[in-house]
Each structure stands twice: as structure tokens, then as C-alpha cells.
């Protein structure tokens, strides 16, 4: 052994070939400070050896996962010169690897992201196994490659391909990497080391011209004139949907790469340091890193929670409507045996058709092999009665949102739950505790709230009730994991977490309409300006105005001060006109299918007409006014949920808003937005809006945090 660290070691193989092996005891190689320091030590030893060549490899299931993101937030706070110094130091290590006086090869097993990808870019050759996945995902964290990736990748695979990878942050698989010449060969994992040794031998013997290969990597990017211009303009155009004020990272990466196209390595790296250290100062970078850390925290908590043994493979889904059919599809494609029950044959037929269409789509997209399709269809049964059905491991009800109907059904299906199984409700607003009252054995019962559309929305809320045992919750966590959903655990309460904060926001939107705001103003401010994936009117049309009115009234009952009844209720008025939203082709907007059958919205002026009939005078609001008026109640309700211990951590609040509602990730979640705007600023804004409604009254928890100048993230 030539060097032994805690995270990597260096040894000599046959024929004087050196092997630098990343081998973290944690099982995942990351570039934390300790690993970077060990790398520097190992490089000093490598430089002193008169070797035949160097192989960089990993003993872990993957090559190198990238930088240690848990160290980012502290790093981001450092002054720019300190950051630049840190980057220069690491890039200097990487340059030394690239400049070794003998050929070098990366043997890449599994994924190599960020710093991992930047490591393999320093070597002369790259051999990957078939499972390899290589990428520079930094823009997803609001930053850009900082260890030389923006310099080396365009020189290796060309400007167009490099921009595609860096600006989207998308990883590519081994096959694609070979096609792009990002790797030189793909072999099976067991042949990886042998292939790397062979490559060194061929390079050392002159069979492969490693010096020429290396020299090309150190030149300017070989693209000029019109071709260069076209390439840059095309990638700039691709960023049109990501305005730079909200998504600075890909724009900065593009500018940086463009600036360095004709530069040598040293100059180009200086540019990278400059752009990188500016990006880390942006609120978006902090927000996106926080999102990553919240995601990890929530998943870690969920993992701890599902500590029971296997439950089983059978699931009965009751109610074959929008949600039931979605849950059935998700369960089926996750390997469960599914029985879908509905009292209406027509509903079962519609559900069957919907599931078939979805499976055929998966098949056409290559996500499903023909044999698997047949296998899945054999695991799906439809029933309009429950007679003779054997006990099931999971039983979930997703029937109409009516307490009595749900209680009756739950009583009927409770005996169908196996001894080790769980009984679940997908209700979006009825108290789980009240539903439990109908059951003789509520110990096996809790809520599992999915979001629409089930296959797309990554969140589920697990709702506790007093009688549910830890085992029941744990098994529900296990089911969530099997269905590839991220769970947050919530105490019972009206609207749970997601609908409660959502309706605080939608009520504020409603109030703006009563004061004469227009659909365009409101939707534009909250989507284009604030960054929600769609404006609230479009969202309400998807939820359905009837559903919105009924959830709203449940929340009004629970929180009459902050979400009071209004004299005029537009959701109810629109419902009464059968303008229920997308499902009736009209709501706030009118919908018409285009030539591809996709429903397109248009404003037919109905809301304005309604406002005129109700003598509501049209009024202009600035985008910032609209954002403040709608976001403050949303944030405050999230703070109330923390204050009341409805949910136990800030991470869960943020993830619920991001994954359940599509809150813009670059804003980090409602609490991150609150802190980035400044608690004092938000309180100031709220004090001005207070006369409008109790929804703008500052929650006591927030006042006390302002007084003691604490941050929610200290508590997280
Ligand atoms: P839906 O109206 O589309 O479907 C309900 C189905 O239940 C219908 O097919 C109906 O025939 C069937 N049904 C009614 N009573 C029944 C009974 N006693 N036995 C068997 N079948 C019965 O409703 P949905 O939108 O799928 O909502 C279902 C549940 O999911 C509700 O509790 C709702 O609050 C909740 N939810 C809905 C959404 C959403 O966006 N639609 C999101 C999250 C949760």
C-alpha cells in the first residue's frame, strides 16, 4: 500500500501501474473536506512515482457521487476570495492528475456525478461499466461545475453536447456516454479493472496515443464561426422557459463556457471560479441546496419509520374514480396484486380503460417490456362486490368525500384486512379520528393521502389518529416507499397540512377577485413572476370548483377567523353554473381540445362578467401586491402547522409544499421564502395588510422568532 486514508487508498498493481481507489467506509464516495485532503496527499505520492500509468477506481457500489452537499451551506457563506482560493486549490489537484507524466484511466462503476464526473474528466481514458451514469447536475442545486467540469467537458465531447449536459444537469447512461465519446469503452463490471490495465499497457506501448488525446483536452474548444454562434444561440433559446432572475445557474454556466471557449486551461478555470463563486451567493443556490437537504432528512426519517417486517403483496382499492384508478395503477406498477372495487360498473370500466391507456403508454415509451405488461395485467382484478374476497394486506378507500359513506364502507371492508395488514383512507379533508370512530379495531387504521395525478405527484401524507399503533404507521410508511412516494407524517386536523396551506393561499386569491382583480393579473404574477408551475385559477380548474368549495367550507369551519365565510363565494357561484373546471370544460377559463386532443385554456371573460353582475369594480394590482397578498397567508398557515405540532419539522413542511403543491424549488419552500424575504420584512408587510383579514395576522411563533432573532433552520 502506498497510501491509506479513511476514504481512499493508493496501491501498486502489476507492471508498475498505480491504482487510486476511492473506498469510503460509508459505502458512498463523496468529496467532503476529508476526502479532498486525502486526495491531495495521494497525488503528492503519485507524482513522485515513476509509474507506467494510473487507474482511478472505486471499491464502493458507485464511482464518486459528487461533492458533499451537507458542507455546501457553510461553504456558500464564505467570502468570495476565500471561495476562489478553495476552488483554485482543488482545481490545482485535478490539474496535477491531468498532467501526470504517464497515461491515466478512470474505471467507472455506477454513477459519477458532479465532482465524480469532474475527476474522470482529468484522465486520458475512461472505461465504464454498463450501469454507469455520468452527469454534472450542479445547475439543479443553483450552481455550476466548480472543479473544472465546465472547462474539460466541452473540450472532450464538443460544445453542443457539453452544454446539453451542463445546462440541463441531466445524467447520461453508459451507452450514450460511449456515443458522445465521453467514455472510450463499456465493459461488464467484473472486467472493468482488467480493461483499464489493458488500456494503460496499450498507451504505454504506444499503441494508443495518450499524449495527443491529452493535448486536445488542453486546447481551445474546436468550434468557430457560424457553427459556434448557432450552437450558443440554440442553447440560449432552450433556456427561455427558465428566466434568469429565477434560474441564474444555467445562464451563468452558458456565459462562463462561452467566455472560455478560446482560453487555455488556466484562464478558463479562473473564469469558472469567478462564475461559480458568484452563483453560490444567490438565494436560489441556498434554496435549492436546502431542498436537497430537506429531501434527504424526510427520506431518512421515513426509512427509520418503516422498521417492521414485510407486510405482503395484496392491495384492495375501494373506489375506482380519479384517485382510486391512479392508486391502483401505481400499486400495480410497483409489483402489488391489485383488486379495484367500485359500486358502479361504469366507473370500473372507465378505470380499466384509464389504466390500460397508461400501461400502453409506458410500453410505447419503453418503460415496460411486453412480458411485464402481460404479467401486470394478470395481477389486476376488478370487482363490483366484495363477496368471497380473501383478506388483503393493504386496503385503501378512495370513494366519494362523504363522512357517512366512508364510515359505512370502512366498517364493511375492515374484516378484509389481514392480521398483519393496514386499513387506509385517502380522504383529503375528513378527520381520520372521526372516520376511526366507525371501526371496532381502529388500531390498524390511518390516513394515506395521495395527490392528483397519483403517478406524477411524489408526495403522500400519512395521517395519524390516536388509536393507530406505531406498527400501523410503520407499515404505511413501507407501502409509501413501495409506491415510490415521499411520505410526511401529519397529525389529524382539517385539511391536514397540504390542503390547509393551499386553501389559505386560494382564499387570498378569492378575496382578490372580490376586490376586482383579473384572472390574467393573478395567474401571471403567481406563475411567471413568483414561479408556481401554474396560476391559481388554472389550478382551481384542475381541482374542480365544486371540490374547492367543499374543502374550503371544511377549513372555514375549522379556522373561522383566518378563513372566514364570505358573503359572495365565487367558487360556489361558478359551481352553480356548472363551471366546475376542466372536467366540465369551463371554470375560471374555458377549455377546448386542440388538434392533438390536448385541452387548451382561454379566457372567455366569464369571471369579469360575473364581477360586473356583482358590481365588483375591476382593479389593477401590481404583481408584488398579488404575491404578498396570496403568499403571506400561505406562509403563516405553514407556521401555524409548526406551532401546533401538526407536523414535526421544517423539512416536512418544505417538502410537502414542494412535492404536494409544486411550490417553486428555487424558492426552497414556504419557510425558506419567509427567511429569504426576511422575517422582519414579512411582519412589516403583514402589518400593512392586517386590516384586510385575520389571515394577515402574524402567528405568535413568528413574532417570538422575530423578537429573539432566531431562524427556523436552526431548529430544523
Ligand atoms: P371520484 O368521484 O372520481 O371517485 C369516487 C368513486 O367512488 C366513484 O367511482 C364512485 O362510484 C365510487 N363510490 C362511491 N361510493 C362508493 C361505495 N360505497 N363503494 C364503492 N365505491 C363507491 O372521486 P376522487 O376524486 O377519486 O376522490 C376519491 C377520494 O380521494 C376522496 O376522498 C377525495 O377527497 C380524495 N382525494 C381526491 C383528490 C382529487 O384531486 N380528486 C386528491 C386527493 C384526495
With a 6 Å cutoff on the Cβ, whether 358 touches ligand 1 is no
* Residue 242 included in any domain: yes
Return the ligand 1 atom nearest residue 324 CA.
Answer: 26
**Alpha-carbon distances, residue 320 vs 197, 324, 351, 383, 683 (angstroms):** 58, 5, 6, 10, 46
With a 6 Å cutoff on the Cβ, whether 573 touches ligand 1 is no
* Residue 302 included in any domain: no
User: Which of 465, 490, 515 is the C-terminal boundary of a domain?
Assistant: 490
Indicate if 335 and 442 belong to the same structural domain.
yes
The radius of gyration of the chain from alpha carbons, rounded to an integer in Å, stands at 29
Indicate if 519 and 478 belong to the same structural domain.
no
* Residue 304 included in any domain: no
Indicate if 463 and 548 belong to the same structural domain.
no
Task: Label residue 716 by pLDDT band (50, 70, 90).
Answer: very low
With a 6 Å cutoff on the Cβ, whether 586 touches ligand 1 is no
Indicate if 57 and 158 belong to the same structural domain.
yes
Indicate if 224 and 94 belong to the same structural domain.
yes
With a 6 Å cutoff on the Cβ, whether 174 touches ligand 1 is no
User: Which of 490, 521, 552 is the C-terminal boundary of a domain?
Assistant: 490
* CA 401 – ligand 1 centroid, Å: 6
Q: Which residues pair with 382 in a beta bridge?
A: 340
* Residue 217 included in any domain: yes
Task: Label residue 245 by pLDDT band (50, 70, 90).
Answer: very high
pLDDT digits (tens, 9 = 90+) for 87-98: 999 999 999 999
Return the ligand 1 atom nearest residue 351 CA.
Answer: 9
**In the chain, pLDDT over 90 holds for what percent of residues?**
93
Residues 6+ apart with CB under 8 A from 258: 232
pLDDT digits (tens, 9 = 90+) for 390-418: 999 999 999 998 899 999 999 999 999 99
With a 6 Å cutoff on the Cβ, whether 550 touches ligand 1 is no
In the predicted model, what is the mean pLDDT of residues 563-587?
95
* Residue 457 included in any domain: yes
pLDDT digits (tens, 9 = 90+) for 416-444: 999 999 999 999 989 999 999 999 989 99
Gap between the terminal Cα atoms of the chain:
43
Active site residues: 449
Q: Which of 126-135, 196-205, 309-318 has the lowest mean pLDDT?
A: 309-318
With a 6 Å cutoff on the Cβ, whether 654 touches ligand 1 is no
* CA 540 – ligand 1 centroid, Å: 18
Indicate if 486 and 502 belong to the same structural domain.
no
Return the ligand 1 atom nearest residue 427 CA.
Answer: 32
Testing ligand 1's pocket by substitution, the residue of 339, 342, 400, 424 carrying the most ligand atoms inside 8 A of its CB is 400
Indicate if 464 and 505 belong to the same structural domain.
no
Task: Label residue 597 by pLDDT band (50, 70, 90).
Answer: confident
Q: With 80 as the cut, is the pLDDT of residue 554 above it?
A: yes
CATH number of the domain within which 636 lies: 1.10.1040.50
Check residue 310 and give its pLDDT: 73
- Into how many domains does the chain fold? 3
* Residue 297 included in any domain: no
With a 6 Å cutoff on the Cβ, whether 324 touches ligand 1 is yes
Burial class from Cβ neighbours inside 10 Å (0-12, 13-18, 19+) for residue 328 reads buried
* Residue 471 included in any domain: yes
With a 6 Å cutoff on the Cβ, whether 643 touches ligand 1 is no
With a 6 Å cutoff on the Cβ, whether 401 touches ligand 1 is yes
* CA 316 – ligand 1 centroid, Å: 14
Return the ligand 1 atom nearest residue 452 CA.
Answer: 40
Indicate if 631 and 692 belong to the same structural domain.
yes
pLDDT digits (tens, 9 = 90+) for 502-535: 999 999 999 999 999 999 999 999 999 999 999 9
Picking from 351, 303, 308, the residue whose alpha carbon sits closest to that of residue 327 is 351
* Residue 294 included in any domain: no
* CA 397 – ligand 1 centroid, Å: 8
Testing ligand 1's pocket by substitution, the residue of 353, 385, 398 carrying the most ligand atoms inside 8 A of its CB is 398
Residue of minimum CA distance from atom 25 in ligand 1: 322
Indicate if 59 and 192 belong to the same structural domain.
yes
Q: With 80 as the cut, is the pLDDT of residue 306 above it?
A: no
* CA 475 – ligand 1 centroid, Å: 23
* CA 427 – ligand 1 centroid, Å: 8
Q: With 80 as the cut, is the pLDDT of residue 283 above it?
A: yes
Q: With 60 as the cut, is the pLDDT of residue 715 above it?
A: no
3-state secondary structure 412-458: HHHHHEEEEEEEEECCCCCCHHHHHCCCCCHHHEEEEEECCCCCCCC
How far is residue 411's CA from residue 309's CA, in Å, rounded to a whole number?
26
CATH number of the domain within which 474 lies: 3.40.50.720
Indicate if 210 and 248 belong to the same structural domain.
yes
- Angle (CA) 209-126-252 rounded to 5° is 110
Residue 384: count of CB within 10 angstroms of its CB: 12
Indicate if 421 and 505 belong to the same structural domain.
no
With a 6 Å cutoff on the Cβ, whether 399 touches ligand 1 is yes
* CA 325 – ligand 1 centroid, Å: 10
Residue 622: count of CB within 10 angstroms of its CB: 11
Indicate if 149 and 51 belong to the same structural domain.
yes
Check residue 42 and give its pLDDT: 98
Domain extent for 486? 312-490
User: Which of 474, 490, 506 is the C-terminal boundary of a domain?
Assistant: 490
pLDDT digits (tens, 9 = 90+) for 117-141: 999 999 999 999 999 999 999 999 9
How far is residue 508's CA from residue 630's CA, in Å, rounded to a whole number?
5
Check residue 429 and give its pLDDT: 87
Amino acid at each position: 500500500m502506498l497510501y491509506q486514508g479513511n476514504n481512499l487508498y493508493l496501491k501498486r498493481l502489476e507492471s508498475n501501474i498505480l491504482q487510486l481507489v476511492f473506498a469510503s467506509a460509508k459505502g458512498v464516495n463523496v468529496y467532503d473536506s476529508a476526502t479532498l485532503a486525502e486526495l491531495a496527499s495521494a497525488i503528492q505520492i503519485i507524482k513522485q512515482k515513476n509509474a507506467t500509468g494510473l487507474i482511478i477506481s472505486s471499491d464502493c457500489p458507485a464511482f464518486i457521487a459528487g461533492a458533499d452537499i451537507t458542507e455546501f451551506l457553510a461553504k456558500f457563506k464564505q467570502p468570495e476570495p476565500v471561495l476562489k482560493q478553495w476552488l483554485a486549490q482543488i482545481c490545482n489537484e485535478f490539474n496535477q492528475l491531468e498532467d501526470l507524466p504517464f497515461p491515466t484511466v478512470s474505471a467507472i462503476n455506477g454513477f459519477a456525478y458532479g465532482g465524480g464526473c469532474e475527476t474522470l474528466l482529468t484522465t486520458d481514458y475512461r472505461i465504464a461499466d454498463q450501469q454507469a451514469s455520468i452527469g454534472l447536475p450542479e445547475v439543479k442545486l443553483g450552481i455550476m461545475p466548480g472543479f473544472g467540469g465546465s472547462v474539460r467537458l466541452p473540450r472532450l465531447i464538443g460544445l453542443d453536447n457539453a452544454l446539453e449536459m451542463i445546462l440541463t444537469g441531466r445524467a447520461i447512461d453508459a451507452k450514450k456516454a460511449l456515443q458522445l465519446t465521453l467514455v472510450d469503452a463499456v465493459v461488464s463490471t467484473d472486467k472493468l479493472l482488467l480493461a483499464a490495465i489493458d488500456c494503460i499497457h496499450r498507451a504505454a506501448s504506444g499503441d494508443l496515443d495518450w499524449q495527443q488525446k491529452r493535448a486536445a483536452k488542453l486546447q481551445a474548444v474546436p468550434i468557430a464561426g457560424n457553427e459556434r454562434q448557432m450552437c450558443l444561440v440554440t442553447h440560449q433559446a432552450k433556456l427561455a422557459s427558465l428566466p434568469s432572475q429565477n434560474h441564474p445557474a444555467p445562464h451563468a454556466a452558458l456565459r462562463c463556457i462561452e467566455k472560455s471557449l478560446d482560453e487555455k486551461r488556466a484562464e478558463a478555470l479562473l473564469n469558472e471560479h469567478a462564475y461559480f463563486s458568484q452563483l453560490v451567493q444567490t438565494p436560489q443556490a441556498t434554496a435549492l441546496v436546502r431542498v436537497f437537504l430537506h429531501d434527504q432528512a424526510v427520506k431518512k426519517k421515513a426509512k427509520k419509520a418503516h422498521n417492521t417486517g414485510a407486510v405482503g403483496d395484496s392491495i384492495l382499492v375501494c373506489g375506482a374514480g380519479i384517485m382510486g384508478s391512479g392508486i391502483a395503477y401505481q400499486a400495480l406498477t410497483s409489483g402489488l396484486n391489485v383488486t379495484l372495487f367500485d359500486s358502479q360498473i361504469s366507473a370500473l370500466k372507465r378505470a380499466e380503460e384509464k389504466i390500460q391507456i397508461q400501461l400502453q403508454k409506458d410500453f410505447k415509451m419503453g418503460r415496460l417490456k411486453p412480458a411485464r405488461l402481460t404479467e401486470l395485467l394478470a395481477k389486476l382484478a376488478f370487482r363490483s362486490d366484495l363477496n368471497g374476497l380473501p383478506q388483503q394486506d393493504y386496503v385503501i378507500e378512495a370513494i366519494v368525500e362523504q363522512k357517512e359513506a366512508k364510515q359505512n364502507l370502512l366498517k364493511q371492508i375492515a374484516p378484509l384486512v389481514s392480521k398483519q395488514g393496514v386499513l387506509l383512507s385517502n380522504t383529503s379533508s375528513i378527520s381520520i379520528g372521526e372516520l376511526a370512530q366507525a371501526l371496532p379495531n381502529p388500531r390498524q387504521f390511518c390516513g394515506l393521502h395521495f395527490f392528483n395525478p397519483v403517478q406524477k405527484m411524489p408526495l403522500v401524507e400519512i395521517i395519524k389518529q390516536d388509536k393507530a399503533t406505531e406498527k400501523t404507521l410503520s407499515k404505511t410508511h413501507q407501502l409509501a416507499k413501495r409506491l415510490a412516494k415521499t411520505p410526511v407524517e401529519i397529525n389529524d386536523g382539517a385539511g391536514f397540512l397540504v390542503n390547509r396551506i393551499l386553501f389559505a393561499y386560494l382564499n387570498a386569491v378569492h378575496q382578490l377577485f372580490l376586490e376586482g382583480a383579473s384572472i390574467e393579473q393573478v395567474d401571471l404574477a403567481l406563475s411567471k413572476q413568483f414561479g408556481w408551475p401554474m396560476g391559481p385559477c388554472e389550478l382551481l380548474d384542475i381541482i374542480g370548483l365544486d371540490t374547492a368549495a367543499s374543502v374550503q367550507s371544511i377549513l372555514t369551519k375549522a379556522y373561522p377567523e383566518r378563513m372566514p365565510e364570505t358573503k359572495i363565494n365565487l367558487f360556489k357561484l361558478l359551481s352553480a353554473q356548472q363551471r366546475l373546471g376542466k372536467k366540465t370544460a369551463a371554470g375560471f377559463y374555458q377549455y377546448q381540445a386542440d388538434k392533438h386532443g390536448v385541452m387548451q385554456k382561454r379566457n372567455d371573460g366569464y369571471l369579469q362578467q360575473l364581477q360586473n353582475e356583482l358590481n365588483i369594480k375591476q382593479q389593477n394590482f401590481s404583481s408584488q401586491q398579488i404575491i404578498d397578498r396570496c403568499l403571506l397567508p400561505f406562509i403563516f398557515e405553514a407556521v401555524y402547522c409548526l406551532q401546533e405540532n401538526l407536523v414535526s419539522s421544517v423539512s416536512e413542511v418544505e417538502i410537502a409544499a414542494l412535492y404536494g403543491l409544486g411550490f417553486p424549488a428555487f424558492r426552497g419552500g414556504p419557510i425558506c421564502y419567509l427567511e429569504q424575504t426576511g422575517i422582519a420584512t414579512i411582519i412589516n408587510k403583514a402589518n400593512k395588510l392586517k386590516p384586510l383579514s385575520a389571515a394577515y395576522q402574524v402567528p405568535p411563533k413568528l413574532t417570538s422568532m422575530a423578537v429573539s432573532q432566531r431562524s427556523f433552520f436552526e431548529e430544523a
